[in-house]
Structure 1
Amino acid sequence: MAPATTRQRGSIGWLPSGSARVKVYAGIDQLTGEKMWLRETVLARATRRETEREAEKVRTRLLNQVDERRNPRTGTTVNELIDRYLEVVDIDRKTRAGYVGKIEKHIRPELGKRQVGAVKAETIERLYAQLRRCRDHCNGRVFVQHRTDHEHACDEHTSRRKCAKVAQGDLEVECRWCARACRTHTCRPLAPGSIRVVHAILSGAFGRAVRWGWIAVSPVKQIEPPATPRPNPDPPTPAEAALLLNEAWDADPDWGTLVWLMMTTGSRRGEVCGLRWSRLDLDHAGVAIFKRSTGQIGGRMWEKDTKTHQDRRVTLDLEIIEVLKEHRARCEQRATELGVSIAPDAYVFSPSPDGSTPTKPDSVTQRYLRLAARLGVATRLHSLRHYSATELIAAGVDVRTVAGRLGHSGGGSTTLRIYTAFVNEADQRAATALADRRVRPPNRRTPTERAAASPED
């Protein structure tokens, strides 16, 4: 009886150019149920025999990939992977909106049509390098960057307002329409923090692909993550903070109260907008309890947990307690004049007379930026947290207490690393303390002794 022959796995075909095409069966696609094949073309060598030997090596390598399950188990694209990832990932609504924005602008256009198994570490590193050059993926192209995708006239703003500076009170500011004008594209790198978000999205998506058995190894794990942006907090100076607070109070006591509370507690804008009267104890303990926050995307608002998902009690000083009591009296007076009442659970800062709706966080940011622009102060709303942390540290308050007021974990490491700016006053105290303990050469007088000495000496 003749011995049984073993069927050869994989095939080698020949092209008219003399090159060889290797094809190996790789199983069934987990998503589509169709057969999968690994294919690779071997360029023609000097002789057909040499090409055939090289093709045999490639066939053996591809078969080893299949046997060791190192080949992709699906031919799906990155677009499909991202869609599946967004379905299962558990993140905050606003974080999801930020993810989607970066996916649509940076990931889908560059990687979306590639097969998941075809994305290599080099592919992702080249994407990061491109983002460090230009956030708009221009690739050196020269084009007009329009301010909107809708039909418009590129010079529309010049007919509505001159492009020169516009007077606002005693100050002159740039025309707000100039910033929206269509102009020739100028490359601007994507911020390092945003590149890290792109990296986090890709890491999460390809990590899920490994977990689901689509690929054997995540290409993101093979590259070095983008560097962490160096913290550079820039709080307003005490003089600038006083100027901002006075101007806000003169414009509207309610608005001034909000700015004062943020400056005092170092709370986030969503936490202040979501603060309710039932979480303010102004008569006994004198504390504000931040339990919930207000989120906003466009015109939609919702109530959510605080950023750390923990309640936070912040002690209030006597002056801010008095300011909040005056604010409560104004709210009650307006409600009475309009024939409504303020519920115990009403919002502290609300555009509604009965306090039933919270103030929009985006509106708070925009109003604060306009205030700072009028005063010529280069700052942003979040810098009030920096201001609160910096002033408390400069006053000698221990870091753990400051971290607790701001809602940080980790024993205050985040507070020191990010939110505390360099304080000249504290640094001067440190220099003086070192000078008092430092050894000095014999017979050398201190600056105080030299200043006290007479000129004849």
Structure 2
Amino acid sequence: MPPAPRKRRSRQRGEIAPLESGSYRVRVYAGQDPITKKRHYLQEIVQRGPDAEDEAEKTLRRLLVQVDERLNPRTSATVRQLLEKHFALLEVERTTKATYENLARTHIVPLIGPVKLAALTAEVFDSFYAELRRCRLHCKRRRMIEHRVKAVHDCDHRCHQHVCKPLAQSTIRQIHVILSGALRRAVRWKWLSRSPIENAEPPKQPPGNPQPPTSAEAARILNASWEDPDWAVLVWLTMVTGARRGELCALRWDDVDLVTGTLRVQRSIAELKTETWEKDTKTHQHRRIALDPESITLLTAHRARSTELAAALGYELAHDAFVFSHSGDGAAHMNPRTITRRYGRLVQRLGIKTTFHKLRHYSATELIAGGVDVRTVAGRLGHGGGGATTLRVYAAWVSEADQRASTGLLDRLPRRPVGDPGVVGADELFAQNPYQLTAMDLRAQILDGTIAAGSALPTTAEVAKSYGIAIGTANRALGLLREWGLIEPRRGVRAVICALPQASEESASAECVDVVPDERSTPQDPPVVVLETSVDEIPYAEIRPTAAPMIGTGLIELVLRRRGEDVSKVVTAPVPMDPGALHRLLLDGINRIGGTAAQIGDYELEFREFGSTDSILTFVA
């Protein structure tokens, strides 16, 4: 009789081992680790006690159920190991990948790199983000010196005591995106049953704060750029199109149609350290941008200069040559970093705190303030999401539409009687907001001597209480006084009223428009300013609002007359004696009383010193 077959002994999947302390170690086999290729175990320690043995049995059964239902982590890999495999498989732009790897190397790995994936919880991530918000250098709350370089050197004033600064909110959100993507990949690989970052509180979306240059700053920047016409065309095109710097570097002449006035944006130049290459646009969207007549004129002149330069060097400018190039034949594109550095030196020389990318913000801001819908602005700028990014970033400027709505309502209401010009009314040309009205009133007190030169200005809190406005509104009002040069801010003490400069007769007649006597006037009559050319024909770069002499030294009363009859009175600050500015003032006054630009010949604008009936000059177009 043959012997009975031996039963195959099943493999022991778990064990309970007593320890010398009286506790029990529970260990369960959970498969092979995909990272180390070694046997992977789940292990827990049950503390000693009267029911320790029973608790160990329960723990063993629980761990076995986790293994059977695949609820356990299948690896003992750390966050560092996961990120290494994640980046090896990540398919994004090279520049984006380099940014992610740098953030992981600088912030993620030093803080939670050694932590095992099985130990990650929502509490770990919340503590991690709190540390990033505390100090970007992870100083561990100890005193340290921030050196200017890492090499051995003699310390000077550039080496200073460390002061904790939080990591930017947008950077923390980028780190959150990196970790979320890596953990989702770990879940797909069955390394984890679920992503532990789901229960963590993600960093808040930073508010949109683009801070574009003002119109006056943009004019100064553009005027200074005309020292090099080719460079000025690049700055101009950035202002009017809002294109990214890499898109401008990749722009070729066959992308520009000077006949129909359109510009195609369909590629970009990427830069990483010393390497550059041509790639798709940031949002992978190709777009067409309409060009205004002035931009077409500038690009035509720029192409003519490029053609002449290529011919002088013995080349022929190709149809697909780069629009902006340092090579004579246009075969090589400009580097994006070169544009940033040159623009940085320019604005530093002008004393303006801004960046090249903020010209893109300037373009979007001006479009929205001009009444262009957000979706169209998003299309010109190449924003994805149908304008969601545009609306989020530039939401502060969308309020311009609300201001236009309130102005439209005002135009339908009965006009208030023309009374005391000292009463600032709702139909004032410039001072329409509370902070502007407050600044105008304080300016009037400074100019008439109520607040003497050299005396201390009231504090922000006192200004807010006196005018019934918020602290932030009072701050903006004092900022206007500082821009007008009426106050001198001092650190730690109140601002001081500056001595008022006396305008000289020579400076008042140095430049700007020609003042010609009207045939109807006598030698004693005030001059009449006649604009003999259309304001549209004046190059943008020639409009210098900060360089033109000002009309008056104190508050100015503007009287709009139609065929000799007064129709509106307005009180405002001194205005530049500039043809473009005076033309816009006249049109603005006509529009506000319901007139049209076609009727401009019936109107004239008279300028008087506030409180006086004597005319300084009369402007007609």
Fold similarity call, TM over 0.5:
yes
The whole-number CA distance in structure 1 between the counterparts of 2:412 and 2:392 is: 28
Give 2:250's aligned residue: 274
Change (3 A) 1:423 1:224: closer
- Are 1:393 and 1:420, in contact at CA under 8 Å, matched by a contact in 2? no
Give 2:107's aligned residue: 106
Within the alignment, does 1:36 sit opposite 2:4 as a pair?
no
Alignment of 1:294-305 (within 5 A): 294-305=269-280
Q: Which runs of 5+ in 2 are unaligned?
A: 1-6, 424-621
Question: Helix, strand or coil: the match of 2:29?
Answer: strand
Within the alignment, does 1:319 sit opposite 2:286 as a pair?
no
Q: How far does residue 304 in structure 1 lie from its aligned partner after superposition?
A: 0.6
Q: How far does residue 182 in structure 1 lie from its aligned partner after superposition?
A: 2.5
Question: Helix, strand or coil: the match of 2:417?
Answer: helix
What is the one-letter code of the residue matched to 2:255?
A: R
Alignment of 1:45-64 (within 5 A): 45=49, 49-64=50-65
Give 2:90's aligned residue: 89
Q: How far does residue 367 in structure 1 lie from its aligned partner after superposition?
A: 1.6
What is the one-letter code of the residue matched to 1:280?
A: V
What is the one-letter code of the residue matched to 1:212?
A: W
Determine what percentage of the aligned residue pairs are the same residue.
Answer: 52
The whole-number CA distance in structure 2 between the counterparts of 1:292 and 1:271 is: 6
Q: How far does residue 40 in structure 1 lie from its aligned partner after superposition?
A: 1.5
The whole-number CA distance in structure 2 between the counterparts of 1:425 and 1:116 is: 50
Give 1:25's aligned residue: 29
Within the alignment, does 1:143 sit opposite 2:111 as a pair?
no
Give 1:448's aligned residue: 416
Alignment of 1:239-258 (within 5 A): 239-250=216-227, 252-258=228-234
Q: For each residue in 1:122-165, what CA deviation from the matched residue of structure 2 results, as whole angstroms up to 9, or x when unmatched?
A: 2122111110111111120221223333333333xxxxxxxxxx
Question: Helix, strand or coil: the match of 1:351?
Answer: coil
Give 1:13's aligned residue: 17
Change (3 A) 1:256 1:6: closer
* Aligned mate of 1:260, from 220, 223, 236: 236
Higher percent of residues as helix: 1
Q: For each residue in 1:175-234, what CA deviation from the matched residue of structure 2 results, as whole angstroms up to 9, or x when unmatched?
A: xxx6xx232221111111111111111000010000011111111122232111111121
Give 1:167's aligned residue: none
Q: For each residue in 1:390-427, what CA deviation from the matched residue of structure 2 results, as whole angstroms up to 9, or x when unmatched?
A: 21222222333222211224443332321365378755
Question: Helix, strand or coil: the match of 2:141?
Answer: coil
Alignment of 1:3-402 (within 5 A): 9-45=13-49, 49-155=50-156, 181-250=158-227, 252-282=228-258, 284-402=259-377
Q: How far does residue 263 in structure 1 lie from its aligned partner after superposition?
A: 0.4
Question: Helix, strand or coil: the match of 1:61?
Answer: helix
- Are 1:286 and 1:316, in contact at CA under 8 Å, matched by a contact in 2? yes
- Are 1:145 and 1:183, in contact at CA under 8 Å, matched by a contact in 2? yes
Q: How far does residue 339 in structure 1 lie from its aligned partner after superposition?
A: 2.4
Question: Helix, strand or coil: the match of 1:12?
Answer: strand
* Bigger shift: residues 208-217 or 116-125: 116-125
What is the one-letter code of the residue matched to 2:47?
A: L
Q: Which runs of 5+ in 1 are unaligned?
A: 156-177, 439-445
* Bigger shift: residues 227-236 or 5-14: 5-14
- Are 1:94 and 1:296, in contact at CA under 8 Å, matched by a contact in 2? yes
Normalising by structure 1, what TM-score?
0.85
Q: Higher relative contact order at CA 8 Å, sep ≥6: structure 1 or structure 2?
A: 1
What is the one-letter code of the residue matched to 1:208?
A: R
The whole-number CA distance in structure 1 between the counterparts of 2:400 and 2:28 is: 72
What is the one-letter code of the residue matched to 1:233?
A: P
Give 1:418's aligned residue: 393
Q: For each residue in 1:84-107, what CA deviation from the matched residue of structure 2 results, as whole angstroms up to 9, or x when unmatched?
A: 111222111111111011010111
Normalising by structure 2, what TM-score?
0.63
Change (3 A) 1:425 1:129: closer
Q: How far does residue 64 in structure 1 lie from its aligned partner after superposition?
A: 2.3
Question: Helix, strand or coil: the match of 2:40?
Answer: strand
The whole-number CA distance in structure 2 between the counterparts of 1:231 and 1:19 is: 57
Q: How far does residue 7 in structure 1 lie from its aligned partner after superposition?
A: 8.3
Q: Which has the larger radius of gyration?
A: 2
The whole-number CA distance in structure 2 between the counterparts of 1:184 and 1:356 is: 49
The whole-number CA distance in structure 2 between the counterparts of 1:141 and 1:57 is: 46
Aligned length, in residue pairs: 417
Question: Helix, strand or coil: the match of 1:313?
Answer: strand
